[in-house]
Amino acid sequence: MLVWLIPFLTLFEPNDSTSLVSADPVINAYRTQYFPQFLPNQQKMYFTVRKEMNSDEEIYYANWKEGHFETPLPITELNQENNEGTPTFSADGLYMIFSGCEYPNSFGGCDLYETKWIEGSWTKPKNLGFRVNSHDWEGQPHLSHDGTQLFFASDRPGGLGKRDLWLSEKDDMGQWKFPVNLGASINSPEDEQGPFLLGSKQRFIFSSNKKGGLGGLDFYQITYPIAQNKAKAITKINTDYHDAGITPSEKPEFYYISRRLNKPQQDLGIVRVYIPDSTFEEPKQSIVFEQIKFDDIEFETNVWQLDSIPASLRQLASYLKQNPAKQVEIQGHTDEVGGAEKNQTLSEKRALSIKMYLMQNQIHADRIKTIGFGNTMPKIKNPTALERKQNRRIEIILH
């Protein structure tokens, strides 16, 4: 069968006043298709398909080649008689978590399952277990880029509304912990769905039908790590129907989302929208150095890298950009565990890691001095095991 291919990239170009939208008929070939996941390293789009109004949900993929998508194909080794959908992937695309419903080994109606790409096919799905799944509904998973955080939607007890967003993190053994609710900054008495961590913009994006929206599900964003203030609607792309599921595309400032297609024989479809980077930028505010608290910079024992970038470092980088004549001295410290020589080296590496972050944020190296004090200047003398983390610290001196 001959498939007409539209040169998708050339349909629209952005301007300053419009969120431009385009829909590829090759991708939108079925009754319903939604929750896209584009993998740039594989040049593939994965998404959920419901061929007819009452048919089961299945996972499909389409290759992106020479400026267009090729005909979508089902993942036959995963799709069963029941519903499968909303896949999310590790950074290399070789590990997948997806929603599976009414499986024989499920804890509830829909659970989260994992599978691996080995020797040209996906392995038999494995239930993520009782730590993640409950007797209620779990779905729409999203893995962070480093693979240590799993966000998902669930209507389990302990939430703030109907479907809430939850987070499970990996422990030191690589096992998923019991999930925690993401709280009132995100969740409401209504439904929250489709979590996505846009790490490059330090934004957490999701959809909600909470009061105050345009109708149906609307997109919202909030800074990540999650701030105490409420999430804000992404008004540039919201419509009066369901808008949910977002992923970056093959082109900067363009994203794939799912929304209503307004066609008689189709429901939700996948469209590409233009979202300028300015959408994810906070209004610039003058930062007072004395008001920055660096207590959120914490290191594990014998570790000099930061697992995530705390808010204080982002504030420091912004302050130094606003005040180009200022210089800083970064002082690294350790606790008393270990030998003096090893702790000295460790403290120097901790200070250097902060310097590298600032340099990556366009702060010139000449403005940054680093020094390590080992365990010679404890914040707390004779600390308990719990108090030792306060001695594993960074102090910032402004010049």
What domains lie within the chain, and their CATH numbers?
A: 16-278 (2.120.10.30), 289-398 (3.30.1330.60)
DSSP state of 81: S
**pLDDT one digit per residue (tens) for the chain, 399 residues:** 223 222 233 233 344 333 477 889 999 999 999 999 999 989 999 999 999 988 999 999 999 999 899 999 999 999 988 899 999 999 999 999 999 999 988 998 899 999 999 999 999 999 999 999 999 999 999 999 999 999 999 999 999 989 999 999 999 899 999 999 999 999 999 999 999 999 888 899 999 999 989 989 999 999 988 877 889 999 989 999 889 999 999 999 999 999 988 888 888 999 999 999 999 987 667 888 988 989 889 888 889 988 788 889 989 999 999 999 999 999 999 999 989 999 999 999 999 999 999 999 999 999 999 999 999 999 999 999 888 889 999 999 999
Rounded CA-CA distance 95/89 in Å is 6
CA geometry: angle at 359 spanning 358 and 365, to 5°?
110
In this structure, what token pair is assigned to residue 258? Answer: 């799912």
Rounded CA-CA distance 370/229 in Å is 34
One-letter amino acid at 37 equals Q
Helix, strand, coil share of the chain (percent; to 5) = 15, 35, 50
Rounded CA-CA distance 164/191 in Å is 6
DSSP state of 298: -
Phi/psi at 20 (nearest 5 deg)? -75, 145
